[in-house]
Structure 1
Amino acid sequence: MAIRVAWVLATPDYRLVHDALDYNRHAISLANGDGFALSYGRETAFRPPTYPIFLAGVYWVFGPSLEWARLANALVGTGIVALIGVIAHQVWGNRVALIAMALAAVYIPQILIGQSVMSEPLFTLCMLGAIAAALRGWVIPAGVLIGLAILGRSNALVLLAPLAWALWKGPRPALIMLLAATLTIAPWAVRNYVVFDAFVPVGTQFGSALAGTYNSEAMNDRENPASWRTLKRVDDYRPIFNQLRVTPEPVLEKRLREASLEYIKDHPGAPLKVAFWTTRRMLDLAGWDWAIHTAGTISAGKRAGAAGIICFWVFAVLAVIGAFTRRARDAPLWLWTVPVLMYLGVVFLVVETPRYRTAIDPFVIMLAALAISAVTAKRAQVP
């Protein structure tokens, strides 16, 4: 907590950029009792609700202060460190848990995303909480927490499968978990049905995520191939985007999704190209300038962004070593499906680091802790 609070206090020039502007706008509107803010003059479900509501609670208590918003995310980041320790303790015991928490406390990419007004830290906290609950066999808390994670980022829907696997002692516990998750999501889905007269369980981002990546400009970009771009700059979908202000969001999302899928049909190699480049970007191996640029999307400066990249590379090397340890193989298989599914949830769309790696990084940290634990244990055995 001290590290994260110090970072916030040491960067008073923080400015809202990109998605953070939307989260802040919705939170202020909610804190004032006016509901979710309009988008382009019409109702919206583009931003899932968990983080805007959390931020609205902070603003309702302390006023609409960016410093308090960032301090609240510092608290969330501290919770992530704690839950990394809890999960490591449940699976591997005290030694690995203490090493994992020590590593997580100083892991720069998590500190950077934690100092921003972004949804990923709260999403990751809910996801890790659901995993810890599942490891304990706590069915309803696991369902509620994964429901909140889904309402933070809709790609968490895929995590219902490994959690059901973790709780499987016959169908009853898994079904109760699914019911708890469904009931957690239901109020937002009902709100969307009332507002749009359409079934929108979480959000309306998928169409724009597809369209921003699967277009001629992105695919023919020689400097940053297959990189997502705002639809304002995409000629392929101009006729759809020009109707933005007069088209309900679910209708717009459907049109963009259908047009993107048509593009993929005409260019069947496009998903593989996207997956190749997004994987490189996920590993910060697609060029130094691009990695620094995407760190800037969470208002991280160039030096901080560079430090985060180097820190990730060090941890990634340790994680690869840790993945080949016996204790990594001893962990429940379903646990390792979580980072794999989180990777698959973005690899065919768009990746910005460290943002979109936030839900994967805890597993990198735990594997790194296994590597250090294995090395120190061997040294302890040397006479």
Structure 2
Amino acid sequence: MTAPAHPAHRPHRRYTLALALITALAVAFRLWFWAWQAPAGAVQPGDPEEYYRAALHILQGGYHDTGKWLRPPLYPAFLALMFALAGVDVRWALLGQAVLTGVGVLAFAWFARRLFASRAAGLISAAIAASFVPLASFGSVLFAEALFVVLIMLALTLLDGAITTGGWRRALLAGGALALAALTRAVALLFVPIAALLVLFLATRPPRAGPAARLGPPLALILGATLVIGPWTLRNYLVHDRLILVDTNGGISMWYGTVRSEEDRRAGEAAIFSLPNLADRQALAVRMTVERMREDPALFLNRVRFKLASLFLLQSRSFAVGDVVTISPRDEQIALSAGENPRPLSLLADLQYVLIMLGGIAGLCFAPAWHRATPTVAWFAFGVALSAITVAHHRLRLPLVGVLVPFCAYTLWRLPAALRALRRGPGRTALLRAGVMLLGWLLFFSLIVSMRYVTWAHAERSAVAGRQALARGDLAAAEAAFRAARDADPANSLRPIALGDLAFARGDLPAAAGWFAEASALEPRSLYALAMEGWLATLRGDAAGAAAAQARIASFGRDTNDFYWWAWNATPTAAPTRLVPGDATAIGHFLGFAPASFDLPAGRWTLGTAWLRLGGCGEARLLLRGPAGRPVSLRAAGQERTLTLSGADQWVALPSDAQACDPARPLVVSIQSPTGLLDLERAPWYTGVAVLAAERGP
């Protein structure tokens, strides 16, 4: 028989089981996000594409040293590892990332349990981290933030160990963890000397400790960071002949924060990126930033104010001001954009964010040991200051809000005891702490409150009435209400979008086109408005108008497979009898294709598995091209044909049994083949076969 567990072991066992359950739920929540955020396997423009390119270069034995700037290597190395294990497919890499960041909630539990000596606080901290929508959402997008937050939590936990023990080993590990965070996002690099100073002044040490006991831990922290970062810095010097500690993005980001106009941006970029050396680019950007600050310090300080507001603004503010880019009026994800979720998730994320901030501020103010809370305060203040002088975006606040999660957990854990103490009468120290807490709350609310919400709320009353009238089938009342909402909130692009959808439902294509044009003028990046402009042009037979709308989508890098994924289910156009993948008039009838590439004037490369939708009747034919010897499988209407590419253009006809004609059910053709790297620099996509055209007819 198994001996019964010792009573002292039972709480630990219950804690372990509860923590395992929370971790499993965290992974499940992130897998849910992955299931609808990552199915297209698309690489978004900007940071995601740069990380992806760097990962491919690592697989090839190098690094991406020919871009606009040098990126830190750890996140690309993680992607490269995922690619090596599961093939170069973004979907599976993001699956691994979702699982890893779900397990990362253990770091939040460890920090809270250690700092507050409470298993309950540790469990609450892990539960908050597990359910926090932004943290879960970033687990399945090509950004480094979710991994970075976990590393920062580990670094702060080890830093607390260095402070409480005064030991050099903990300090060495803390320096190494901070260095790993810096190799993920370089902002952590500048925190290393701050952390060393914190250890120097706050660490516990024996009375009458000598210089070795005082200086040993901070020097060990710096040594730990140097041992981790040093090899990367040496590699950068050998490659670029300049001292580049981690990356060259920071100085250029700082300059972007001083740009005054579109013309100013273009002129500055021309000067910076004309330099061949990446370190020289950053040095020039820093000089330009300092000069701009000296020229007009008042303007710089005014921008700092706006950047702080941008850093802390609510996610749902995008709906209030109408700058929604990637979410449709029906809360569909048009294309993946980190930090922009459908309206219900955005509202939930904002509620969680506000509660974490309020609870975190309270937890910091009432923390049992101020010197152990100081590293978190220092990191938060450091991050805010850095955003204020560079660029600010609510994506960048995730590592700041994340470190407040354990303190929010402490507040929730201690709240019953605090309420009991309040009934007995608070002491002077408690009143002082409460005053600081209230000041922190007021400062936070001053950053997130905006009069735009008042304008939005006034207009939304009419918009809600319009949606209710639309549900009743009263189109005239719906139009009147939507017009009233537009008049009350004329700067919000969502107002003309509602009128455009209504006009389209009525069959008034010219009016719908006018409304969507107004919406895209208010928000030039609105994928929904631009897609509808293109589809309306196609329905009117205006190929040039459709191409113009598609060109605008492509101009900011959104002509990718996640957009095609949404368009496949959303298109109002009929399946054509002839299509060229990538053409504006074919949008919505091809799926699983790479962006436009240098080698194809017309047509697109598949991403391994792709689909086409053809209308009409008769034989279906595809014009294919690809590497000689590559096998391709075509499937349609339950039939399959396999062929081997010759290396030249070749027309392929589908089996005769696949030619059944049903006007209500277009023919869907699937194309499947192995993939290979197209071109590392000019088109770094793993592609299968080029589909130059497809047609159906006699």
TM-score bracket for the superposition, by shorter chain length: 0.7 to 0.9
1:105 aligns with 2:130: yes
Does structure 2 retain, via aligned residues, the 8 Å contact 1:104–1:365? yes
Q: Which letter does structure 1 place at the counterpart of 2:215?
A: P
1:157 aligns with 2:183: no
Does structure 1 retain, via aligned residues, the 8 Å contact 2:145–2:399? yes
| SS at 1:216 equivalent | coil
Does structure 2 retain, via aligned residues, the 8 Å contact 1:131–1:163? no
Which of 98, 101, 126 is 2:151 aligned to? 126
- Structure 1 counterpart of 2:292: 263
Greater Cα offset, 243-252 or 343-352: 243-252
* 1:24-39 aligned within 5 A: 24-31=52-59, 33-39=60-66
How far does residue 242 in structure 1 lie from its aligned partner after superposition?
Answer: 5.4
1:166 aligns with 2:185: no
Which of 244, 249, 253 is 1:200 aligned to? 244
How far does residue 216 in structure 1 lie from its aligned partner after superposition?
Answer: 1.9
Which of 330, 334, 346 is 2:387 aligned to? 346
1:147 aligns with 2:179: yes
Q: Which letter does structure 2 place at the counterpart of 1:256?
A: A
Q: Distance in 2 between matches of 1:380 and 1:78?
A: 36
- Structure 1 counterpart of 2:50: 22
CA RMSD of aligned residues (A): 2.8
Does structure 1 retain, via aligned residues, the 8 Å contact 2:171–2:218? yes
Closer, same or farther: CA 200–38 of 1 in aligned 2, 3 Å: closer
Q: Distance in 1 between matches of 2:309 and 2:30?
A: 28
More strand by share: 2
- Structure 2 counterpart of 1:375: 415
- Structure 2 counterpart of 1:6: 32
- Structure 2 counterpart of 1:212: 256
- Structure 2 counterpart of 1:220: none
Q: Distance in 1 between matches of 2:34 and 2:269?
A: 41
Q: Which letter does structure 2 place at the counterpart of 1:23?
A: Y
Closer, same or farther: CA 107–328 of 1 in aligned 2, 3 Å: farther
How far does residue 332 in structure 1 lie from its aligned partner after superposition?
Answer: 3.8
- Structure 2 counterpart of 1:301: 341
Greater Cα offset, 207-216 or 159-168: 159-168
Give the number of equivalent residue pairs: 362
Q: Which letter does structure 1 place at the counterpart of 2:303?
A: V
How far does residue 287 in structure 1 lie from its aligned partner after superposition?
Answer: 8.1
1:166-194 deviations in Å (ceiling 9; x for gaps): 37441112112211211211111111111
Q: Distance in 1 between matches of 2:121 and 2:311?
A: 26
Q: Which has the higher contact order (CA 8 A, sep 6+)?
A: 1
Closer, same or farther: CA 80–344 of 1 in aligned 2, 3 Å: farther
How far does residue 89 in structure 1 lie from its aligned partner after superposition?
Answer: 0.5
1:254 aligns with 2:283: yes
How far does residue 379 in structure 1 lie from its aligned partner after superposition?
Answer: 6.8
1:98-132 deviations in Å (ceiling 9; x for gaps): 11111111011111222211112222222222222
- Structure 2 counterpart of 1:188: 232
1:335 aligns with 2:362: no
Does structure 1 retain, via aligned residues, the 8 Å contact 2:40–2:91? no
1:178 aligns with 2:235: no
* 1:225-240 aligned within 5 A: 233-235=262-264, 238=267
Q: Distance in 2 between matches of 1:34 and 1:330?
A: 45
Q: Distance in 2 between matches of 1:202 and 1:131?
A: 20
How far does residue 83 in structure 1 lie from its aligned partner after superposition?
Answer: 0.7
Does structure 1 retain, via aligned residues, the 8 Å contact 2:251–2:286? yes
How far does residue 150 in structure 1 lie from its aligned partner after superposition?
Answer: 1.4
Which of 251, 265, 272 is 2:301 aligned to? 272
1:280-325 deviations in Å (ceiling 9; x for gaps): 1222159812785699642743334443233312322333333443
Greater Cα offset, 303-312 or 198-207: 303-312
Does structure 2 retain, via aligned residues, the 8 Å contact 1:342–1:360? yes
Q: Distance in 2 between matches of 1:263 and 1:378?
A: 50
Q: Distance in 1 between matches of 2:352 and 2:409?
A: 14
Q: Which letter does structure 1 place at the counterpart of 2:136?
A: I
Does structure 1 retain, via aligned residues, the 8 Å contact 2:364–2:373? no
Does structure 1 retain, via aligned residues, the 8 Å contact 2:69–2:278? yes
TM-score by length of 1: 0.85
How far does residue 357 in structure 1 lie from its aligned partner after superposition?
Answer: 1.2
Q: Distance in 1 between matches of 2:84 and 2:30?
A: 23
Q: Distance in 1 between matches of 2:274 and 2:156?
A: 40
Does structure 1 retain, via aligned residues, the 8 Å contact 2:363–2:408? yes
Closer, same or farther: CA 181–292 of 1 in aligned 2, 3 Å: farther
Closer, same or farther: CA 306–351 of 1 in aligned 2, 3 Å: farther
Q: Distance in 2 between matches of 1:346 and 1:213?
A: 9
More helix by share: 1
Closer, same or farther: CA 287–101 of 1 in aligned 2, 3 Å: closer
Q: Which runs of 5+ in 2 are unaligned?
A: 1-26, 163-169, 206-213, 328-335, 424-698
1:69-93 deviations in Å (ceiling 9; x for gaps): 2122223322431111101001112
How far does residue 203 in structure 1 lie from its aligned partner after superposition?
Answer: 0.9
Q: Which letter does structure 2 place at the counterpart of 1:276?
A: R
Does structure 2 retain, via aligned residues, the 8 Å contact 1:327–1:370? no
Closer, same or farther: CA 293–140 of 1 in aligned 2, 3 Å: farther
How far does residue 56 in structure 1 lie from its aligned partner after superposition?
Answer: 0.8
Closer, same or farther: CA 293–177 of 1 in aligned 2, 3 Å: farther
- Structure 1 counterpart of 2:80: 56
| SS at 1:373 equivalent | helix
How far does residue 9 in structure 1 lie from its aligned partner after superposition?
Answer: 1.7
TM-score by length of 2: 0.48
Closer, same or farther: CA 319–10 of 1 in aligned 2, 3 Å: same
How far does residue 247 in structure 1 lie from its aligned partner after superposition?
Answer: 2.3
Q: Distance in 1 between matches of 2:407 and 2:347?
A: 23
| SS at 2:62 equivalent | coil
| SS at 1:271 equivalent | helix
